Amino acid sequence: MKKQLAALAASLVWAFGAQAADVKLVVNADQPGPVIHRNIYGQFAEHLGTGIYEGMWVGPQSKIPNVRGWRKDVVAALKELKVPLVRWPGGCFADEYHWRDGIGPRAKRPVKINTHWGGVPENNAVGTHEFFDLVEQLGAEAYVNGNLGTGSAQEMAEWLEYMTGEGKSTLTDMRRKNGRDKPFRVHYFAVGNETWGCGGNMRPEYYADQYRQVATFLKTPENNRPKFIASGGNDQDTTWTEVLSKNIRHNFDAIAHHAYTFPSGKWEGKGPAVGFPEAEWISMLSQVSKIDSTLAKSTVILDKNDPKKKLAIYFDEWGSWYDPEPGSNPGFLVQRNTLRDALLAALHFNVFHSHADRVKMSNIAQMVNVLQAMIQTSKDKLVLTPTYHAFALYTPFQDATSLPTTLENNPVYKVGATEMPSLSATAARGKDGKLYVGLVNSNATQAAELTLQVGANAPKAAKGRLLTADAMDAQNELGKPAQVVPRAYEAQAADGKLTLKLPAKSIVVVAIEG
Ligand code: AHR
């Protein structure tokens, strides 16, 4: 009889498919973790293509409405995201930038060639004063990247004196003459960028020595001391974390790390931003796990070399990087932005939250018109990208207290030989006291559902917003700006269970009630 029942059960499984186990997310609200620093939602704005010029800066004489040269519409949209921090002026551009070119009357500033990005003229209309005007309009903190490549300790030291000096000196008087009496508040200052590559092709040991020497001369008034940042490794390379954390001591607060994601996984032939197959959807999203493992490795290194946890990791460049938009200047890094980018961003956030102990800043590359931008502009018009909406959904996590989660029976999502967990989750207690949960369903074709438990209890309801679209490469465009926009989302408990339904390829961020 037993044998017959087993055979019957086997034939039912064959006929109807195996019963998937219940997916459950448990949030341990009584075990608060580290605070998710708001600067994890930081932005990067480089003198590159139309990222600054046209995209944000149009100049005070422009017909496009602006405040002292900065576009009103762009600044207003960025303010909605509560942009906490802006990194400037690069990137690779930083190691060719000489700050004296960008002060004084704009008409008299030298015009240079932006040799790194497209070989176009750089008229230095945006310089130190304009940058600080932007961050002050946004209510954001300033991250200034110093020039080690073609600059010097003296040039960086003098820039800091110009920006932060209080007393009377030739440089502080020059700042006053240029219209700024009180010092600028410099929150972060980096010594070079990508010094393993465009910043000078150095070895980590050589850079560590360079940093030690330069940092000796980086002085500011104590109340305006920035956090000093060493330029670190790329992608999965943690050698820089090891060497820098072992060899630098003075004026050293953080190590920068960069990692971009290409669909092909290769620098040459990155892959298209739109019109891609599902294999390239999953290849992008599954690569975020490499960032998770790199951060785990970096944490082990830092816990060994910096047990008192004085050093932070600033993931100050990340995002998608595709083949350039056909017809565009390849040096301008113009690319479309789709639902895939929004999910990529949300997966990064979930990973950064889970390393909030060490990761205190991240900067998406870049803010406007360049790479995985928040905003794309065309003359006086703008479009908010799917990535913008992912950032908008996640704003409650800024300065929230992370909470551990366990995802039980997370289904596997597989396309060809590539697989990844279908679901990714994060939870935190927001500054407003509410419990927030962020969820990503990476599966491009299958919806998912999960029950939510807080400790041993089932909450009563979840309310928030959902971001999804019909196509993997759905995008917002001029004339069609609302193809990928958040919708209201709500779930109520039934039979003592709160079940959240996640459409295929979606992001949900909810506040939990009860
Ligand atoms: O964001 C574009 C470029 O990518 C940056 O200038 C550089 O730091 C990185 O290689």
As a whole number of Å, the CA-based R_g of the chain is 24
Rounded to whole angstroms, the Cα distance separating 102 from 130 reads 9
User: Which pLDDT score, from 0 to 100, does residue 16 have?
Assistant: 38
194 lines ligand 1 (CB under 6 A): yes
The reply to whether 317 belongs to the active site is yes
Rounded to whole angstroms, the Cα distance separating 301 from 239 reads 9
Q: Give per-residue burial for 262-292: e unless 16+ CB within 10 Å, then b.
A: bbeeeeeebbbbbebeeebbbbbbbbbeebb
**C-alpha of residue 91 to centroid of ligand 1, in Å:** 5
Rounded to whole angstroms, the Cα distance separating 196 from 232 reads 8
Q: How far is CA 224 from CA 44, 173, 183, in A?
A: 22, 18, 9
Helix (H, G, I), strand (E, B) or coil at 136: helix
**C-alpha of residue 27 to centroid of ligand 1, in Å:** 37
Answer for the pair 263, 322: CB distance below 8 angstroms, yes or no. yes
Task: Kindly report the protein residue whose alpha carbon is nearest to atom 8 of ligand 1.
Answer: 91
User: Which pLDDT score, from 0 to 100, does residue 20 have?
Assistant: 61
91 lines ligand 1 (CB under 6 A): yes
Tens of pLDDT, residues 339-367: 999 999 999 999 999 999 999 999 999 99
| Residues in the chain, pLDDT under 50 | 1-3, 5-19
Please count the helices (runs of H) and the strands (runs of E) in the chain.
11, 26
Place of tokens 């960028």: 193
User: Which pLDDT score, from 0 to 100, does residue 11 have?
Assistant: 41
Of 117, 201, 258, 368, the residue with max ligand 1 atoms within 8 A of its CB, to mutate for a pocket test, comes to: 258
83 lines ligand 1 (CB under 6 A): no
Task: Kindly report the protein residue whose alpha carbon is nearest to atom 1 of ligand 1.
Answer: 365
User: Which pLDDT score, from 0 to 100, does residue 9 have?
Assistant: 42
C-alpha closest to that of 333 among 376, 388, 290: 376
Tens of pLDDT, residues 95-151: 999 999 999 999 999 999 999 999 999 999 999 999 999 999 999 999 999 999 999
86 lines ligand 1 (CB under 6 A): no
